[in-house]
Amino acid sequence: PNTIYLEDYQPPAWLISHTKLRFELEEEQTLVRAQLSIQSNPAARDKRMPLELFGDEGMELCRLSIDGQILEACDYQREAGYLRINNVPDTFVLECVTRLLPHENTTLEGLYKSDGMFCTQCEAEGFRRITFFPDRPDVMSVFSTTLVADKCLYPVLLSNGNPVDSGEDDDGRHWVTWDDPWPKPSYLFALVAGDLALLEDSFTTLSGREVALRIYAERKDLDKLDYAMQSLKNAMRWDEEVYGREYDLDIYMIVAVDFFNMGAMENKGLNIFNTSCVLAHPLTTTDQGFQRVEAVVAHEYFHNWSGNRVTCRDWFQLSLKEGFTVFRDAEFSADMNSRTVKRIEDVTLLRTAQFAEDSSPMAHPVRPESYMEISNFYTLTVYEKGAEVVRMLHTLLGAELFRQGSDLYFERHDGQAVTTDDFVAAMETVSGRDLTQFKRWYSQAGTPRLQVSDQYDARACEYRLTVRQSCPPSPGQDHKQPYHLPLALGLVAEDGTELYAGLLELTGEEQEFCFDNIKQCPVPSLLRGFSAPVKLEYDYSDAQLLMLLRHDTDGFNRWDAGQRLSIRLLQEQMQRYRDGQPMVCSEALIEAWRQLLNDTALDPAMLAQCLRLPSEAQLSELAEQIDVAAIHAAREFMRTSLAAALEQEWLQAYQRCDTNELYAPDADAVGRRSLKNLALAYLVATEREPWLALARQQYQQSDNMTDQLAAFALVAHSDDRETAEELLQAFYQQWQHESLVMNQWLSVQASDPRDGALERVVALAQHPVFDMRNPNKLRALIGAFCGQNAQHFHAEDGSGYAWLAGWILQLDQQNPQIAARLLTPLTRWKRYDPVRAGQMQVQLQRMMDTTELSADVYEVVSKSLM
């Protein structure tokens, strides 16, 4: 595969003003007739370039003409992925007929079938599997699309924009024409054809425009669409209020499909969603599931401005739309629910998974410099770290200037395809600031490290803080320049009084800050709200952390103080485990947790966050060399010690939160359930008989999936095999016809830490509910085993690695994007002991030695072995 470089960017030689498409959808084939109105681009570097269109090799070209003149085979060249036509006029209409086989398309890119309905996925480069086209985001065109299909099988025919015409043919077929007035790149094109049920509602925009809101799904799921609809309306209102952005078409549609490579897709006016991100019902969806639906519905809606009206010039700019939109959806979720809890969840994801990516062979800047396969760059770095970069701009400028900058960005670039530099330039204009150094966040990979030390002069009432920043090397970047970053901090007295709160700006490699008139020696509360995506080091004493856990006025840092303390204690136990010494659980920690648990004034959601030990994945990220067994042993030891020591408190917390309220997915109720189920998990961890019975009782009496699933997982993983098997069977019987619930059933079993885990997942892959063509099933089984069952995935004999590699090789033939995704755990081999690292390398090499790897898998494997 070729490597594409940012520095090679050239403006397109040809532009398309209008794209007219006609799809003849049939069972055995689809014919696509495309009429492209083409002009040479006045802004192109070289004039008189041949016309080059992208087109997938598997696509059959049936007919090609220019201004009505049929082209013969000698008039054009078809090469791997391209069609080249020499000697074309300056302005002309190209007509092209292609033949596709959607029912055989297992890549879930381009036009394919999901459970009998036709649908599309074009981002990033799927449109070239539909027709020959300048399939790049800086070519924007107006689309007009006609769909023709059997009326009984496909009564619903959808595309972008507004329906403008329709009719019926004599042969039982019907057709609908859709016009999308807004110029868009081909990656935002979509069509859907199927027998779909519909939930309809409407929204009146700020300026009084009436918008029809339509959510489509299979008939059996019609009762699971209300929450998505409510979330959509909330998002539309929020974007008007917070960003002044209104919707711009008469119809907004969402379609739920079961076969989908990722969460959802923001196609103009016609979002296509993975069922897992749109269907929600109390009986089948957990609280987490509800919150994901709310967040993803909002995210795709927000793209209408940040992504669609203003799009990316090239795919290196992906974070322009994704980082900004993730920031927008995170703020929306924070406003709809608990701001601090949302921040804690996002930072946990960043610290666990993005930091790990940042130190892996696939590490890349938020704006990558090169890629082989762009699908591999829809990453935590581009999305989540990208959102942190936007958040830092928000922090540095303040909410008001940031809003002005966003207004200016949309105004300047409406209808354009632009770069992250353009985004920052708008922020520079409104603030009058020079953000040149800040832009290193876009160009440098790796997680910066902040080392903080301090000094207090009691006589002068002077407190000095010294901050040193550095950033480790990453592939292709040995030396990093210092970053410009906001460091929010507070100074807290021993008794909890806040002596100072403010924002510092770091630009140098080492900087000293002096605070006057500080009357007692303070404890610094650093990086409040996680004001920059860095690793912070400061030599806190246990007592200081306990004080911050009790008194910090910044909720995020309260939680973070507790995490730091837990991490330190866990790391000590890991060392003891390795040294063969007995592990111990700190009395101070137990007492601190007891106080938290007894403090009934605390918000249950926050309390649950504070009483959750850092995950094995996070402890792994922090380790010099990952010792899977020590991490697991230490964490289990702490968990069971805290469970036993605080048994009464856990029970009280459980009872306090076990209110008999009707299910609602609002922040308060979600918080109570999260504390309740955390308490139940600790109770069960005591291995005392009554608590497993309590879990079983909760399983039977719950009226919602959150409580049912939490209890189910605890029993399913317990040593009481009789009850466990009974529940596994009962759960299956109850939910076997709910595909999304069956994903949970698979995941619970795949993450079961008891012996024999690999044998169990091998057997489950043969179970009728498993379907290797469905990405949700693959994530539920393979993803969960490799990601949430470290003990067994990392078995020293390499059996887990070999199993995964076997899957990757098989899946690569069918769906390269998913294959490359699932491969991630093996790319981390350098972090493990020599035996495991060697075993992982063997599997990577095994893949490398296979002929015919996709570009997706080849890129990940080859970079990992470098």
Residue 805 interacts, among ligand B3K, Zn ion, none and using kind-specific CB cut-offs from 5 to 8 Å, with none
Separation CA 94–CA 66 (nearest Å): 5
A 10 A CB-CB count for 708 gives: 23
- Give the shortest CB-423-to-ligand B3K separation in angstroms: 17
Task: Specify the residue for token string 């700020």.
Answer: 206
In the region spanning residues 322 to 361, those forming contacts with Zn ion, defined by CB under 5 A, are 322, 325
Task: Specify the residue for token string 């600790």.
Answer: 682
Distance set, CA 686 to CA 592, 637, 683, 690, 709 (Å) = 19, 11, 5, 10, 20
- Give the shortest CB-381-to-ligand B3K separation in angstroms: 14
Reply yes or no on whether 572 is catalytic: no
- Give the shortest CB-137-to-ligand B3K separation in angstroms: 11
Q: Backbone phi, then psi, for 88, in 5-degree steps? A: -110, 155
Closest residue to ligand B3K, Cβ-based? 123
- Closest to 16 measured CA to CA, from 96, 76, 98, 86: 96
- The one-letter amino acid code at 54 reads F
Residue 304 interacts, among Zn ion, ligand B3K, none and using kind-specific CB cut-offs from 5 to 8 Å, with none
In the region spanning residues 298 to 327, those forming contacts with Zn ion, defined by CB under 5 A, are 322, 325
Separation CA 177–CA 359 (nearest Å): 49
- Give the shortest CB-314-to-ligand B3K separation in angstroms: 15
Is residue 308 within 8 A of residue 182, CB to CB? The reply is yes
CA angle 193/286/658 to nearest 5° reads 155
Residue 627 interacts, among ligand B3K, Zn ion, none and using kind-specific CB cut-offs from 5 to 8 Å, with none
- Closest to 807 measured CA to CA, from 852, 760, 843, 856: 843
Q: Report the run of H or E that residue 52 belongs to, with start and end.
A: strand 51-54
**β partners of residue 453:** 466
Residue 667 interacts, among Zn ion, ligand B3K, none and using kind-specific CB cut-offs from 5 to 8 Å, with none
Q: At what angle do helices 226-243 and 399-413 cross, to 10 degrees?
A: 100
Distance set, CA 164 to CA 25, 161, 269, 314, 376 (Å) = 19, 9, 15, 32, 38
Alpha-carbon dihedral of residues 344, 348, 350, 354, nearest 10 degrees?
A: -170
- Give the shortest CB-1-to-ligand B3K separation in angstroms: 16
Strands in 553-592 per DSSP E: none
The binding site for ligand B3K (CB under 6 A) comprises: 123-124, 262, 264-266, 299-300, 303, 322, 375, 378
Nearer to Zn ion, 325 or 609 (CB): 325
Nearer to ligand B3K, 299 or 672 (CB): 299
- Give the shortest CB-526-to-ligand B3K separation in angstroms: 32
Task: Show Cβ contacts of residue 25 under 8 Å, excluding neighbours closer than 6 positions.
Answer: 102, 118, 147, 148, 149, 150, 154, 193
Token digits of residue 596: 């938290």
- Give the shortest CB-782-to-Zn ion separation in angstroms: 24
- Give the shortest CB-776-to-ligand B3K separation in angstroms: 15
- Give the shortest CB-274-to-Zn ion separation in angstroms: 13
Nearer to Zn ion, 325 or 544 (CB): 325
Residue 812 interacts, among Zn ion, ligand B3K, none and using kind-specific CB cut-offs from 5 to 8 Å, with none
Query: How many residues bind to Zn ion according to rule CB under 5 A?
Result: 2
A 10 A CB-CB count for 301 gives: 27
Nearer to ligand B3K, 311 or 477 (CB): 311
Nearer to ligand B3K, 154 or 442 (CB): 442
Q: What share of the chain is helix, strand, coil (3-state, %, to 5)?
A: 45, 25, 30
Nearer to ligand B3K, 301 or 682 (CB): 301
Residue 801, classified by CB atoms within 10 Å of its CB into exposed (0-12), middle (13-18) or buried (19+), is buried
Token digits of residue 376: 């591999």
Task: Show Cβ contacts of residue 442 under 8 Å, excluding neighbours closer than 6 positions.
Answer: 319, 365, 366, 367, 389, 420, 424
- Give the shortest CB-247-to-Zn ion separation in angstroms: 17
Residue 364 interacts, among Zn ion, ligand B3K, none and using kind-specific CB cut-offs from 5 to 8 Å, with none
Separation CA 616–CA 636 (nearest Å): 10
Nearer to Zn ion, 325 or 340 (CB): 325
Nearer to Zn ion, 153 or 349 (CB): 349
Separation CA 278–CA 275 (nearest Å): 5
Residue 856 interacts, among Zn ion, ligand B3K, none and using kind-specific CB cut-offs from 5 to 8 Å, with none
Q: Report the run of H or E that residue 140 belongs to, with start and end.
A: strand 140-150
Residue 265 interacts, among Zn ion, ligand B3K, none and using kind-specific CB cut-offs from 5 to 8 Å, with ligand B3K
- Give the shortest CB-264-to-ligand B3K separation in angstroms: 6
A 10 A CB-CB count for 761 gives: 25
Residue 554 interacts, among Zn ion, ligand B3K, none and using kind-specific CB cut-offs from 5 to 8 Å, with none
Nearer to ligand B3K, 292 or 792 (CB): 292
Nearer to ligand B3K, 271 or 839 (CB): 271
- Give the shortest CB-361-to-ligand B3K separation in angstroms: 21
Nearer to ligand B3K, 261 or 789 (CB): 261
Task: Show Cβ contacts of residue 282 under 8 Å, excluding neighbours closer than 6 positions.
Answer: 663, 665, 703, 704, 705
Task: Specify the residue for token string 């970069």.
Answer: 389
DSSP secondary structure string for all residues of 472-540: --BTTB---PPPPEEEEEEEE-TTS-EEEEEEEEE-SSEEEEEE----SPPEEEESTT--SSSEEE---
A 10 A CB-CB count for 293 gives: 25
Is residue 696 within 8 A of residue 723, CB to CB? The reply is yes
Residue 378 interacts, among Zn ion, ligand B3K, none and using kind-specific CB cut-offs from 5 to 8 Å, with ligand B3K
- Give the shortest CB-55-to-ligand B3K separation in angstroms: 19
Is residue 98 within 8 A of residue 71, CB to CB? The reply is no
Nearer to Zn ion, 354 or 718 (CB): 354
Residue 375 interacts, among Zn ion, ligand B3K, none and using kind-specific CB cut-offs from 5 to 8 Å, with ligand B3K
Given 123, 300, 373, 388, the catalytic residue: 300
CA angle 14/69/54 to nearest 5° reads 35
SS3 615: coil
Nearer to Zn ion, 30 or 308 (CB): 308
Q: Which residues bind Zn ion (CB under 5 A)?
A: 322, 325
Positions marked catalytic: 300
